[in-house]
Amino acid sequence: MFKNLITYRIGEGWTADAQLLAEQLAKETFLPCAPTQPLAVGWAPPRGVEHAPLVEVVDGHWLIKLKREQRLLPSSVVQERVDELAEHMEATTGRKPGKKAKKELKEQAAHELLPRAFTKTSATQVWIAPAQQLLFVDAGSSSRADEVITLLIQASQGLSLQLVQTAESPAACMAAWLLDGVTPEGFQIERECELKGSDDEKPVVRYARHPLDIDEVRAHLTSGKMPTRLALSWRDRVAFTLTEGFAVKKISFLDLAFEGRPEASGDEAFDADLALATGELGRLIPALIEGLGGEHDFAAAGAAPATVLADLPDPTPEEALGESPPW
């Protein structure tokens, strides 16, 4: 159900009303790209069924989904067409196009090629836990999470969010766990980590499928390298990787989490998967925050937390379509 989680605290003053949120999201539902449209973004039913609710509610937890369709137009293809247009202009006018003319030719080339470009569709899920005033984005990068959060804040009046920051540095805590082998209750170190140095060269050491309770790892830590990623498991129920920025990645549910779960299919399977994921992770995340010293108290520190609220500029065709196509 979830592969990665970036955690946000919901600010005071937001009305937790699933029906109201669904009505707000319905104003910006997903529509596929038009022939010359480089990017389409909008809200879609999490269940993946047409006309299903935009907000799914299971056991008090909400799930919404932002869908994204992008036309893949690599810069090399655009440049090839620009060169053709430039050669034609030179042949017909007797002069080479200048800087301004080349920019116009580039826009013309993108406009011509977009209808023939392949499209790539992706989706990002958002899990809202109103009772805990927490919101989670299933995103592998902060830039994708920022896009989702910005659009959600724009859609839902009164919603404010801030990234959850822990009182203690995740990197420092991971280093201590690796050095002394003692983790917070319920957590266990697994067999993968990344260590990075702080000097000019920023050396990186990665371990995969390798024991970490060895002198070599401790030597790297005492020499100044710090963990940026560490694989952990929680109560033999969930495996994941913790990052230095308190992102939870590579989430997988272990056999113990599925014990006693009845077999289900269709809509029942969707509900069961969501209940399992929110139930397990809804206990893991608070335990992880506690293991990192609790949430950082911005009020006590005398600093205002950074809220995520920024306008997204309209992408140029080159920015929106910079990925290579599957050919």
For residue 326, what pLDDT is reported? 34
Task: Give the C-alpha separation, 115 to 212, whole Å.
Answer: 52
For residue 106, what pLDDT is reported? 87
Structure token pair of residue 160:
């404010």
Task: Give the C-alpha separation, 135 to 63, whole Å.
Answer: 10
Question: For 188-192, which contacts have Cβ atoms below 8 Å and span 24 or more sequence positions?
Answer: 188/232, 188/233, 188/234, 188/236, 189/213, 189/230, 189/231, 189/232, 190/231, 190/232, 190/233, 190/239, 191/231, 192/229, 192/230, 192/231, 192/241
Q: Does some domain include residue 110? A: yes
For residue 96, what pLDDT is reported? 86
Q: Which range, of 121-130, 144-153, 226-235, 306-315, averages the lowest pLDDT?
A: 306-315
Task: Give the C-alpha separation, 275 to 296, whole Å.
Answer: 29
Q: Assess whether pLDDT exceeds 90 at residue 290.
A: yes
Q: Please state the domain count of the chain.
A: 3
Burial 76-98 (b: 16+ CB within 10 A, else e): ebbeebbeebbeebeeeeeeebe
Pair 100, 66 in one domain: no
Pair 240, 154 in one domain: no
Domain with 143, as residue range(s), is 6-71+119-165+303-320
Compute the average pLDDT of residues 39-67: 95
Of residues 238 and 198, which shows the higher confidence score? Answer: 238
Structure token pair of residue 19:
């029906």
Q: Assess whether pLDDT exceeds 90 at residue 239.
A: yes
pLDDT band for position 102 (50/70/90)? confident
Pair 42, 156 in one domain: yes
Q: Does some domain include residue 298? A: no
Burial zone of 235 (CB within 10 Å; 0-12 exposed, 13-18 middle, 19+ buried): middle
Pair 79, 127 in one domain: no
Entry pTM:
0.83
Burial 145-179 (b: 16+ CB within 10 A, else e): bbbbbbbbbebbeebbbbbbbbeeebbebbbebbe
Pair 139, 26 in one domain: yes
For residue 281, what pLDDT is reported? 97
Task: Give the C-alpha separation, 121 to 69, whole Å.
Answer: 4
Q: Does some domain include residue 192? A: yes
Q: Does some domain include residue 325? A: no
Pair 252, 138 in one domain: no
Compute the average pLDDT of residues 219-228: 95
Q: Assess whether pLDDT exceeds 80 at residue 311.
A: no
Q: Does some domain include residue 326? A: no
Q: Assess whether pLDDT exceeds 70 at residue 305.
A: no
Pair 157, 15 in one domain: yes
Of residues 325 and 132, which shows the higher confidence score? Answer: 132
Provide the edge-to-edge strand list for the sheet that holds 204-208: 204-208, 187-196, 226-234, 238-243, 248-253
Compute the average pLDDT of residues 73-88: 87
Pair 93, 194 in one domain: no
Pair 179, 276 in one domain: yes
Q: Which residue has the tokens 């790209």?
A: 33
Pair 289, 311 in one domain: no
Pair 98, 214 in one domain: no
Per the prediction, the chain carries an average pLDDT of 89
| Cα atoms in the 13 Å half-sphere on the side-chain side of 231 | 18
